[in-house]
Amino acid sequence: MSVTVRVPAKVNVQLAVGAARPDGFHDLANVFLAVGLYDEVTVTPADELSVTCEGPDAALVPLDRTNLAARAALILAERRGIEPAVHLHIAKDIPVAGGMAGGSADGAGALLACDALWGTNASREELLDICAELGSDVPFSLVGGAALGTGRGEKLTALDVGGTFHWVFAMAERGLSTPAVFREFDRLTEHADVPEPVASESLLDALAEGDPDALAAAVSNDLQPAALSLFPELADTLAAGRTAGALAALVSGSGPTTAFLARDPRSAAKVAEALRASGTCRSVRVASGPAPGATVVAGN
Ligand code: C5P
């Protein structure tokens, strides 16, 4: 018997970052859009907790209890007073350390899979609560679609999306650590007056209308200067995508994956081809959003 859950990647179409809080986190206005690149987490009964991973980036994934999938199983088991006796297998297609919530996806996927396997019947509210304990982006991996995340990003309000948005993603040669990017944001804004983060009305309207030109004009990422400061070569990738006709080019979340909004699938294919030929990235993927959140796809 096993259960498999499929979980999407995300891109942040707006990431407004406030000043560091006393707990070290930052208040955000984080507009998430789930996109159709997926990890699959399969959970199977076993003698003890273990994790394996397959996929192009598998060697970069920690297989110990720091893995968010393992932590999700541990937290749910502890809450129910049962042993976390499962094998977790991650089929990984979301880039690792890329700013696309790959680790968060595995946490949300393992949680939903364990809940189904163990019959623990956690309510949506409890699942979201455990997700928030796992990390700021994990609740969104569970719900998918599009949402505004406030607080440290974990308090979600679902957003209407009036169409499909077409994206190209360029994977970088190396990863970036999210805490390091936030630390760099703090360093760069040390002497600045950092405003309260608020969602852009024009961006929310563009999403609701499904209007790619309006969305392109409204996207923003306050972490982009910090990501570029730590990884200056990303500017070349952004320029290559813009030159190829992308409506917008930005760093996804804390990076270093770069995201390019295209008007339609044909234009996305053209931007992808140009990025591949540019030699400014490791690999290129095309995906559209919104995509559904964590979903059980197989169980037997
Ligand atoms: O919540 P999560 O564990 O994913 O966050 C990883 C790191 O990113 C945190 O330890 C913190 O350094 C940074 N972070 C932050 N403010 C947020 C979310 C994350 O400073 N709102």
Residue 30 in domain: yes
- Asked if 224 and 82 sit in the same domain, the reply is no
Q: Which atom of ligand 1 has the smallest separation from the CA of 183?
A: 12
Q: Is the pLDDT of residue 300 over 90?
A: no
Residue 257 in domain: yes
- Asked if 90 and 207 sit in the same domain, the reply is no
Q: Is the pLDDT of residue 299 over 80?
A: no
- The residue with tokens 């996207």 is 219
Among 130, 159, 188, residue at a domain's last position: 159
Chain segment 2-13, per-residue pLDDT in tens: 999 999 999 999
What is the total count of domains within the chain?
2
- Asked if 148 and 48 sit in the same domain, the reply is yes
For atom 12 of ligand 1, the residue with the nearest CA is 179
Among 118, 135, 159, residue at a domain's last position: 159
- Asked if 148 and 209 sit in the same domain, the reply is no
- Asked if 101 and 115 sit in the same domain, the reply is yes
Chain segment 142-190, per-residue pLDDT in tens: 999 999 999 999 999 999 999 999 999 999 999 999 999 999 999 999 9
Neighbours of 256 (CB within 10 A): 28
- Asked if 151 and 169 sit in the same domain, the reply is no
- Asked if 123 and 66 sit in the same domain, the reply is yes
Q: Is the pLDDT of residue 66 over 80?
A: yes
Task: Give the per-residue pLDDT at 97.
Answer: 79
Among 127, 159, 191, residue at a domain's last position: 159
Q: Best substitution site from 177, 182, 186 to test ligand 1's pocket, by max atoms within 8 Å of Cβ?
A: 182
Q: How far is CA 196 from the centre of its chain?
A: 23
Backbone angles phi, psi at 246, to 5 degrees: -60, 140
- Asked if 7 and 135 sit in the same domain, the reply is yes
Neighbours of 282 (CB within 10 A): 14
Q: For residues 100 and 291, what is the distance between their CA atoms, to the nearest angstrom?
A: 13
Enter the ipTM: 0.95
Residue 299 in domain: no
Q: Are 230 and 268 in contact (CB under 8 A)?
A: no
Q: Is the CB of 179 under 6 A from ligand 1?
A: yes
- Asked if 208 and 255 sit in the same domain, the reply is yes
CATH code, 238: 3.30.70.890
- Six token digits for residue 112: 């939903």
136 C-alpha to ligand 1 centroid (Å): 6
137 is catalytic: yes
Q: Are 246 and 260 in contact (CB under 8 A)?
A: yes
Backbone angles phi, psi at 176, to 5 degrees: -135, 140
Burial (Cβ within 10 Å: 0-12, 13-18, ≥19) of residue 22: exposed
- Mean pLDDT throughout 93-99? 89
Q: What is the pTM of this model?
A: 0.96
Q: Best substitution site from 96, 152, 183 to test ligand 1's pocket, by max atoms within 8 Å of Cβ?
A: 152
- Asked if 98 and 245 sit in the same domain, the reply is no
Element (H, E) at 200: none
CATH code, 128: 3.30.230.10
- Mean pLDDT throughout 76-92? 97
Element (H, E) at 54: strand 50-54
- Residues 6 or more apart whose CB falls under 8 angstroms from that of 199 comprise 14, 16, 29, 31, 148
**Domain, as residue range, for 229:** 165-289
Task: Give the per-residue pLDDT at 298.
Answer: 79
